[in-house]
Structure 1
């Protein structure tokens, strides 16, 4: 009986926290339209420009991180959160991000089990990797792998997740 009470309390608390989080998400103008073409255009606009990060990862590390996420949606993430998380909290968080049209997550948190963010090392090469990852994802017609936190996503949902993820990271990138 106590376990049921604890689970109900956790669920109610989680819903309240996500509801509050919904309103805390940024609602400003995105750097480009919230679709793959918009993200690709935003990246094209950065090509050949000297960029700096306001804090945390370098622009090259940010681009490598975002590329990893896209690549893993096709090949499979190295580590997944527990099944209960991917079928409850994760999808709920994604639905809040999707409804709000913005994502907020720790911008220095690596993908669990992912390779180091140091390759390719140059900003230009990392940006090319990310642009290639977006192009590969846009053309991919096979079955996508479960997201490490959100669980199973359709191609359209994954596209939205990748774009929101990129835009969240770009919030710390500026022209030098």
Structure 2
């Protein structure tokens, strides 16, 4: 687990001309970049998920950190490979994972869903997470994360997906 406060040690980077290597140090920075990217219409990408699916996928992940993931890897996986993967991502300040892989056990994402509703859902999930008063549920792969670590995980997750979209 990354120690509390470690998330703030990641240098905040705004979206650059190319989204490749995009990094965010906080959910606020991620939300600002996603909002700016979507300001001129629906961003384009060759990824398997549409823009609306991506926004809903990102919101799902944040929501599940508060309510619990539908399926999880074994505790052994979480404490070994999952924890190690998160540590590497946190050290790099950047996550890489399959951008077409749904959250295990999550409802299928509708390709034709409304991007505006997806954006509203993501913004609401970020606000709920930032104001969440209770404990957080274990991540399906990384296991137990404190709030600062979870925020970093969510910010890196958003950056990884958004990096594939262009205005």
Task: Please state which band the TM-score falls in when normalised by the shorter chain.
Answer: 0.7 to 0.9
Distance in 1 between the 2:21 and 2:49 partners? 23
Judging by fraction of residues, say which structure has more helix. Answer: 1
Distance in 2 between the 1:135 and 1:39 partners? 12
Ranges of 4+ aligned residues in structure 1 off by more than 3 Å: none
Pick aligned residue for 1:46 from 21, 29, 37: 37
Are 1:115 and 2:107 an aligned pair? yes
Equivalent residue runs for 1:86-165 within 5 Å: 86-118=78-110, 121-165=113-157
- 1:64 and 1:120 in contact (8 A); partners too: no
Structure 2 residue matching 1:61: 3-state secondary structure: helix
TM-score, normalised with respect to structure 1: 0.79
Gaps of at least 5 residues in structure 1 are 1-27
Pick aligned residue for 1:60 from 32, 52, 65: 52
Shift of 1:47: 3.9
May I ask how many residue pairs the two structures share in their alignment? 147
Match of 1:9 in 2: none
Gaps of at least 5 residues in structure 2 are 1-19
Answer with 79-88 or 38-47: which moved more: 38-47
Shift of 1:72: 0.2
The alignment's C-alpha RMSD in Å is 1.6
Match of 1:166 in 2: 158
Pick aligned residue for 1:36 from 27, 30, 34: 27
Question: Per chain length, whose mean CA-contact separation is higher, i.e. which structure has more relative contact order (CA < 8 Å, sep 6+)?
Answer: 2
- 1:43 and 1:131 in contact (8 A); partners too: no
Per-residue Cα deviation, 1:76-128 (whole angstroms, up to 9, x for no partner): 00001011101111010000000000000011011110011128811111011
